[in-house]
């Protein structure tokens, strides 16, 4: 027969265990409810609207957004992340630095571009859903994840070529206008990134010989081509690419960096500017045919790196040429 002392001890222990279990259950319930409330508050990601936008001015420079199916440009890319994470993009989406996306000054949103790091040859398809960059000397701002994958997060900048993918951009335009989410919007934090399958689009990048700057005639920008059989890639293909995006390796190429102060249809006007800028370094007038028209580009360089380029660019802007920019050739 159990004594009163032992019985009292057992009852006390039972009360303590029961209270402990209740506390654990309460903690688990609170944690579960907190997660549920967070999920309810977050909800589905906002679907961005299709937007081109009106002309706007930043730091004395006017930008003119437009649809440009022939857009292709070389220059300097930068990246952005923590300070904008969780905030709305220019077309109403929520920016996620861990997704692959980009900001561009003038392309419609959303658009699809092929971005190639010319130094290491890495290339990938990226969706444009924001405006920027607004620092002088940059042509595109990539998300932190995109910069990691293209191999320049640590450096902060990269020499790139950006080319609009017209067919894919047209599809995203239709989806956005219909209020449907983009198939190219996918978190890529843990995706498999490797060589592209043989059926995926291939980026054709041809390296040009480097001729002396003085008196040379610049060739038109290098074309980036996608085989016709993939130009009609379906939404299913695009969705599959979003879920498991591919980072493609293309041949790295040698590049030169310049500050371009202006471009003129009249050679005499270009030469006048060249003479005004002689104090900034080696200045030349470089002829080029762009969209069937002949222009005379006034350039300073080649320059040793992006840091030097930024310094020269700042001086040229202060000298009265806010439209000057860094260009990669």
3-class secondary structure for 12-68?
HHHHHHHHHHHHHHHHHHHHHHHHHHHHHHHCCCCCCCCECCCCEEECCEEECCCCC
C-alpha 7: how far from chain center: 72
Residues 6+ positions from 178 with CB-CB distance below 8 Å: none
Distance CA 204, CA 225 (A): 6
pLDDT at 129: 95
Q: Determine the angle formed by the axes of helices 166-177 and 235-243, rounding to 10 degrees.
A: 90
CATH code of domain 56-249: 2.40.40.10
The ranges assigned to domains in the chain are 56-249, 257-328
Contact 84, 97 (CB under 8 A): yes
Q: What is the mean pLDDT of the segment spanning 65-93? A: 94
Query: Cis peptide leading into 110, omega within 30 of 0?
Result: yes
Does residue 7 surpass a pLDDT of 60?
Answer: no
Does residue 242 surpass a pLDDT of 80?
Answer: no
CA angle, 81 then 87 then 92, to 5°: 120
The CA–CA distances, whole Å, from 182 to 11, 42, 110, 128, 130 equal 62, 19, 8, 11, 14
pLDDT digits (tens, 9 = 90+) for 159-204: 999 999 999 999 999 999 998 887 766 434 333 333 333 333 334 3
pLDDT at 45: 58
| H/E run at residue 270 | helix 267-276
Question: If pLDDT is split at 50, 70 and 90, which confidence band does 53 have?
Answer: very high
Lowest mean pLDDT, pick from 66-80, 83-97, 243-257: 243-257
3 state SS of 211: coil
Contact 122, 149 (CB under 8 A): yes
Mean pLDDT score of the chain: 78
pLDDT at 60: 84
Taking the CA atoms of 119, 309, 271 and 268 in sequence, report the sign of the dihedral they define.
positive
pLDDT digits (tens, 9 = 90+) for 281-309: 999 999 999 888 999 999 999 999 999 99
pLDDT digits (tens, 9 = 90+) for 101-129: 999 999 999 999 999 999 999 999 999 99
Does residue 138 surpass a pLDDT of 80?
Answer: yes
pLDDT at 183: 72
Q: Strand order of the sheet with strand 325-328?
A: 283-290, 293-303, 257-264, 325-328
Contact 263, 272 (CB under 8 A): no
Give me 267's structure tokens: 């050679």
Give me 73's structure tokens: 């440009």
Task: Give yes or no on whether 56-249 and 257-328 have one common fold.
Answer: no
Q: How far apart are the two ends of the chain, measured CA to CA in Å?
A: 97
- Global pTM value: 0.70
Phi, psi (deg, nearest 5) at residue 166: -65, -45
Give me 215's structure tokens: 């008196």
Distance CA 306, CA 313 (A): 10
170 burial (CB, 10 Å; 0-12 / 13-18 / 19+) is middle
Most confident of 203-212, 238-247, 292-301: 292-301
211: number of Cβ within 10 Å = 11
Does residue 152 surpass a pLDDT of 80?
Answer: yes
Does residue 64 surpass a pLDDT of 70?
Answer: yes
pLDDT at 234: 53
Q: What is the mean pLDDT of the segment spanning 196-218? A: 37
pLDDT digits (tens, 9 = 90+) for 24-52: 444 443 344 443 334 334 455 566 899 99
Contact 64, 106 (CB under 8 A): yes
pLDDT at 156: 96
The topology under which CATH files domain 257-328 is Alpha-Beta Plaits (3.30.70)
Q: What is the mean pLDDT of the segment spanning 231-244? A: 51
């Amino acid at each position: 027969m159990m004594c009163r002392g032992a019985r009292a001890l057992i009852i006390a222990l039972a009360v303590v265990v029961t209270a402990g279990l209740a506390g654990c259950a309460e903690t688990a319930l609170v944690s579960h409810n907190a997660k549920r409330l967070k999920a309810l508050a977050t909800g589905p990601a906002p679907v961005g609207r299709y937007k081109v936008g009106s002309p706007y001015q930043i730091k004395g420079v006017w930008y003119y957004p437009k649809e440009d199916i022939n857009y292709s440009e070389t220059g300097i890319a930068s990246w952005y992340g923590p300070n904008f994470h969780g905030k709305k993009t220019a077309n109403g989406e929520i920016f996620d630095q861990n997704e692959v996306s980009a900001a561009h000054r003038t392309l419609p949103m959303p658009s699809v571009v092929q971005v190639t790091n010319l130094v290491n040859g890495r290339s990938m398809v990226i969706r444009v859903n924001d405006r920027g960059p607004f620092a002088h000397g940059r042509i595109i701002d990539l998300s932190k994840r995109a910069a990691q994958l293209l191999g320049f997060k640590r450096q902060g900048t990269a020499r790139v070529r950006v080319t609009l993918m017209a067919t894919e951009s047209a599809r995203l335009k239709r989806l956005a206008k219909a209020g449907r989410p983009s198939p190219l919007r996918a978190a890529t934090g843990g995706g498999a990134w490797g060589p592209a399958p043989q059926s995926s689009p291939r980026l054709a990048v041809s390296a040009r010989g480097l001729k002396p700057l003085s008196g040379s005639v610049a060739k038109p920008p290098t074309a980036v081509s996608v085989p016709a059989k993939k130009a009609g890639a379906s939404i299913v293909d695009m969705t599959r690419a979003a879920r498991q995006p591919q980072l493609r390796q293309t041949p790295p190429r040698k590049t030169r960096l310049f500050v371009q102060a202006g471009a003129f249809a009249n050679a005499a006007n270009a030469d006048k500017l060249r003479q005004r800028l002689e104090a900034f370094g080696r200045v030349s007038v470089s002829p080029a045919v762009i969209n069937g028209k002949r222009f005379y580009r006034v350039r300073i360089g080649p320059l040793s790196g992006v840091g030097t380029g930024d310094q020269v660019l700042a001086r040229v802007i202060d000298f009265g040429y806010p439209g000057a920019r860094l260009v990669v050739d």
